[in-house]
Amino acid sequence: MTEKLELLEEHRSFDGVQRKYRHYSTVLGCDMTFSLFLPNREQFETPPLVWWLSGLTCTDDNFTHKAGAQKRAAELGLAMLMPDTSPRGDAVADDADWDLGQGAGFYVNATQEPWARNFRMYDYIVTELTGIARDTFGLTGPESIMGHSMGGHGALVIGLRNPDRFRSISAFAPIVNPMEVPWGVKAFDAYLGADRESWSKWDATKLLAKHDGTQPPILIDQGTGDSFFGEQLQPEKLANIANSKDYPLTLRMQDGYDHSYYFIASFIEEHLVFHQKYL
C-alpha cells in the first residue's frame, strides 16, 4: 500500500515534463497510477488543465506513449492529466472478459457487489484526483475534459454533470448511449444493477436531453472505418439531441479512420486547440 504520492517516471518532453505517479486511493481502496504532463512552469505558472480518459483495456500509459500530444500541449501551455481506467490489484474484483472489471471501470460509481467496494471511478476523478491536481501541483486554473471510446463516454458524462467546472468537452469515438449498446448494458447491469432508471445519470444522451444551464461546447470525432461504429458507437444520437436543443456540439465524421491511437494521433492537436480556445 502506497500511502503517499510516489514518482515512478519523469521525462523531459518538448520544454515540459512527462511524469507518472503512484498513490493509494482512499476512494478506490487500492494503489493507483496516473500520468501528468506539465508545460514549462516558468512560462506557464498556472496552466489550464485538460483531462484525458482512456478506453477499455487501457492504462494511463496509452495516451502518453501513443497520442503524440505533448508537443502541442507544451506550445499551448496546457497541462494534461491521465488517470488509469479502473481500480487495480489482486484484492480488486475482476472478470475474465476484457470489457468488464479491471481495465473497464466505465467511470461510474458502482452500487452492486462485488464491484461497489472499489469501482468508484467517477468520485476518484471528480474529487480525489482533482484534489491531488490542485493541492499538490497547483493546477487551480480552468479545466476541460476529453477521452476515447469508454473514456469518451466518461468525458461526456463527467463534463455534462459538471458543466460549471469544465469549459469544454471532446471525444474520439465515444460510447454516447451506453444504456442501449452491448458494452454499456453489460457493464451497467454488473456495476449498477437491474434498475435501468439508475443508469440514466451515466448516459450522455439522457444527460444532454435533460441539460439546462451552462453549455460547455462539445467536439466529437468518429472514424467511418471504425469496426465498432454503428453497434457500440452511435454519436449521431447525441448530435441529434444537441441539434434539437441548439446545444453547441460539433460531430466530425473522419473518412476511413478506425478505433486506434493512429486515429487519435491524427486529430489530437485539433482537440487541444479546441480546448485552448475556451481555457
Active site residues: 149, 226, 259
Q: What is the DSSP letter of 21?
A: E
Task: Tell me how many degrees the CA angle 55-61-65 measures, rounded to the nearest 5.
Answer: 105
Give strand pairing partners of 166.
143
Using CA atoms, how far residue 176 sits from 80, 83, 145, 172, 222, in Å, is 23, 20, 15, 11, 11
Q: How far apart are CA 149 and CA 232, in angstroms?
A: 9
The phi, psi pair for 264, rounded to 5°, reads -60, -45
Gap between the Cα atoms of 264 and 66, Å rounded: 9
**CB-CB neighbours of 43 under 10 Å:** 11
**In the β-sheet with 143-148, what is the strand arrangement from edge to edge?**
6-13, 16-25, 30-38, 79-83, 49-53, 143-148, 166-172, 218-223, 249-254
Q: Which of 227, 212, 239 is nearest to 263 (CA)?
A: 227
Q: Which amino acid is at 96?
A: A
Cα four-point dihedral sign 85, 91, 93, 94: positive
Q: Specify the DSSP class assigned to residue 124.
A: I
β-pair partners for 81: 36, 51
The per-residue b/e assignment along 137-154, b for 16 or more CB within 10 angstroms, e otherwise, is bebeebbbbbbbbbbbbb
